[in-house]
Amino acid sequence: MFTVYKKKPFTEAHEAIIIGLFDKPVKFEEKLEELDEAFSGELTELVKSGDISARIEQTAKIHTFGKVPSKRLYFIGLGKEKNTSFEEIRESFGTIFKKVQKDKIEEVAVYLDSFTTESIDALDAAHALSEAFALSTYQFENYKQKPNEPEKQIQRIMVYLEDVEVEDIKAALTVGYSFGKGTNSARTLVNTPGNLLTASDLAEYAKELGEKYLFEVEILEKEDMLKLGMGAMLAVNQGSTEPPKMIVLKYQGKEEWTDVIGLVGKGITFDTGGYSLKTKAGIVGMKTDMGGAAAVLGAMEVIGELKPEQNVVAVIPSTDNMISGEALKPDDVIISMSGKTIEVLNTDAEGRLVLADAVTYAKHHGANYLVDVATLTGGVITALGTETTGAITNNEEWFEQVLEASFEAGEPIWRLPLFEKDKQRVRNSKIADLNNSPGSEGHAIMGGAFIGEFAENTPWVHLDIAGTATTKKDTNLGPSGATGVMVRTLALIVERFES
């Protein structure tokens, strides 16, 4: 996919060359001076006329007519050099790759030096390039009849630069591409209809990851859960004809099984709401209620590719939430694996129930630090919208590591409060230790507070991705639909972990 050359690309023949332009004086800067000379200064004139612009994410395609060996030049504006961030470079790469893909170019060169600044070095630019390429060119293969003519896609990317060692650039490209591909895997899982992705299908997918990356795999069946007392998980599954699965993947990157990071992802493959039935509008799209599971599996793919020196256990509770004569009912009392009893006031607050047993089981496998990811509440969308993930924690130092990873990944989170009175609300039941739905006020906080009762004293961060797991609009880094949010954050948490 990627080939790296330590020189400029302008004397080589390619279908296209991608060049970044910072907002500087109209005369092309030193890096591009020889290219402008090949065009007898005409590129500078095109800048003066506005046909080529350095304004952020402005694109231009120039046919070379034999003035250089390559057929086309693609320019992408990068804005003011001093203001440029990694995220903006990644977005710009996404913009130009989408344009090149639309033009059905199969082989493209990138002049990487034209994307570097004092704050964005070649390694950062290479990471941004490969991650953006994977993300921006992703398409979910839908179920429409396919035309006979094969669709052309970018197959080869040649990366050119002058000063940095080739092996270092290759490593940065590998990391960025792994992040992008892991995110795309999560996107595909979330986009898949619920009838084609049951808990059993999700378990098979996890087994395939385990075989590919040599993870230790454990799949708990219903009988296993009964023996372990996973009453919360089993209660949600009561109304279903599909068997539940508790999916566990273990990656050991250290000699000793210590400092274990537990990644827990909600895997509700379709959510009707149970007897607390969703509306006809609200039930559409509930195939995406396993976005947390997808994020964890995508992150495990990245971990498998990059092999960090850390220990990770991934736990995914998976079932659908259906209605039948045996389904869980409001007013039922269930017993979780931890021994805590739960009064069920809302069967549509099922995610926190399956996560309760999953968090307990992650601790059973030695998790010293926990992050759970879930499309948990509509309340987080009301609070934070669709661009920011809500977070709750019981440990300041652990939260700071998660926060730093999220902003580095470009997946911002915002911390919601969790006070003692919030905890008392989920403990407010006359007949059980906890109740699963204390009311609509502070709904996102209540969901997190409930899960925190099972994390107990283990450092823990809850990430509510109900608003960020999907998008209704195309972006520079992907189409509408599933976003794969939190894959890169989770991978970075593991890669950057400090005990």
Active site residues: 278, 352
Quote the tokens at residue 471: 């998008």
Strand segments, DSSP code E, in 64-104 are 72-77
From the list 273, 274, 262, the residue with the least C-alpha distance to 366 is 262
* Alpha-carbon distance values, 435 to 20, 156, 273 (Å): 56, 55, 17
- φ and ψ at residue 79, rounded to 5 degrees: 75, -160
Helical residues (DSSP H) of 283-395, grouped into ranges: 291-306, 351-364, 379-384
Q: Which among 73, 3, 76, 86 has a CA at the least distance from the CA of 38?
A: 73
What is the DSSP secondary-structure string of 19-44?
EEE-S--SS--GGGHHHHHHTTTHHH
Which of helix, strand or coil describes residue 198?
A: coil
Pairing of strands 460-464, 156-161: unpaired
Tokens of 282: 């609200």
- The span from the CA of 29 to the CA of 31, in Å, is 6
Distance CA 373, CA 223 (A): 26
Report the relative pairing of strands 434-435 and 333-335 from DSSP bridges: unpaired
